[in-house]
Structure 1
């Protein structure tokens, strides 16, 4: 099932997918997606983000694939929902999207073996993890100004139950900017797959329900500017729409 969190008449509702572009409220009402305000499908707790976790992206950046996961943390203030606006500062020369499969932890995980990793997954959603290249000091673990800016991580629209995605390691990812496809990849090309990432992070810290793992992006990143509509989509998981706007003075 696909789950969402939406706001209608100032009240937060749990919702499910009623059909393409439609949501169903708990009282049975069906609304078009543009009739509601979308929130991230979960309220993220600790969020782990991966740098250079696709071999083609590493090549795009002229790096070798890492020997172990290059993880860093992301703050909660950065998340917005489907159809939200993301602010681009006027003084930034290069800001790009990153279409990523986001793994939602559903059960406490500590020292989890990879063959048990999926038992600890609640489901999956789509993340668009914008990066502000101007502030980049370290490709391997980007700093807060690159990856934790307000509104710079759209998430959603749906949380898709784990069992509804039979093989998360064979999903097509794509990004369209103003209707033009700019990014295309597949989760099978991750350097470290979902079980490996859960095994790795849980080996030195406890993962809790509501934690997120953003699993990296394939190649094909381009600069985006105010006015651009960016659509990040993952096969079977969802189509996440976002618009760039200038950062208010």
Structure 2
């Protein structure tokens, strides 16, 4: 099942993608796609619906972030062995954890803003997962039962802010529009093996990333269990799990996004998102 949110920012409505790729309205069944509607019982009820019985959404409305009301947006760094190699860094012994501000979340086709004074903005196609049931000190064996579904996140990063300024990575990861999310959340039952998904990213028609979740260092089950020892994972929390090789930082010479660049991201089974880079102002 593919759950989506559509409408103008702050006014998104819940929807479902039917078997023909059409958009159906779910607002008669749930108020929104949030942590409160991602529990197994609600997902089972929605899955049992006949999509043809739901109202068709006419036209081409804006597609918003596929999960609303995200409480925590957690990032995992250097989680692909081949990406660590291109970065010239050792494979970490434990997951590298950072936070992205939830105000960075945007729709999968919304513009990405290049901040004023920033000239090292980079792309990162990532597999993300959404928590469906509360997870605290869960075992690795039980971890996947807490995952409601999977989606694409573009972990846009300003590398100078991330690594050349004092402090931790968060400020290089958290500018507005630095977390395009979607186009939809695919429920976990439709992704039998999240550790075997091809993932690709193009910049203005040139393939930059072409990897697979097969090279993940720490898998989804490990991450849920690991994170839940340090913090309680609540329904609706999103964890984005790292990026394969091909980021601008790893190129020689390094290459970063410029105004007018178009990023196109795709992960097997999870759809496509696309953003145009625009130059931001001073406020």
TM-score (norm 2): 0.82
Could you say if the C-alpha distance between residues 19 and 248 of structure 1 is closer, same or farther in structure 2, counting changes exceeding 3 Å? farther
How far apart are the structure 2 equivalents of 1:211 and 1:122? 10
How far apart are the structure 2 equivalents of 1:19 and 1:247? 39
Residue 247 of structure 2 aligns to a residue in which SS?
coil
Note the C-alpha offset of 1:143.
Answer: 2.5
Could you say if the C-alpha distance between residues 158 and 65 of structure 1 is closer, same or farther in structure 2, counting changes exceeding 3 Å? same
Instruction: Please tell me whether residue 71 in structure 1 is matched to residue 79 in structure 2.
Output: no
Please show how residues 86-105 of structure 1 align to structure 2 within 5 Å: 86-105=112-131
Could you say if the C-alpha distance between residues 180 and 18 of structure 1 is closer, same or farther in structure 2, counting changes exceeding 3 Å? farther
Of the three residues 148, 167, 170, the one matched with 1:122 is 148
In terms of mean alpha carbon deviation, does 167-176 or 14-23 score higher?
A: 14-23
How far apart are the structure 1 equivalents of 2:76 and 2:9? 37
Of the three residues 39, 46, 52, the one matched with 2:64 is 39
Say if 2:118 and 2:158, in contact at 8 Å, map to a contact too. Answer: yes
**Aligned residue for 1:193?**
219
Please show how residues 171-186 of structure 1 align to structure 2 within 5 Å: 171-186=197-212
Structure number with bigger Rg? 2
**Aligned residue for 1:12?**
12
Please show how residues 133-212 of structure 1 align to structure 2 within 5 Å: 133-137=159-163, 142-212=168-238
Instruction: Please tell me whether residue 242 in structure 1 is matched to residue 275 in structure 2.
Output: yes
Calculate the aligned-residue CA RMSD, in Å. 2.1
Give the gaps of 5 or more residues in structure 1.
none
TM-score (norm 1): 0.92
How far apart are the structure 2 equivalents of 1:8 and 1:59? 41
**Aligned residue for 2:259?**
226
Aligned length: 246
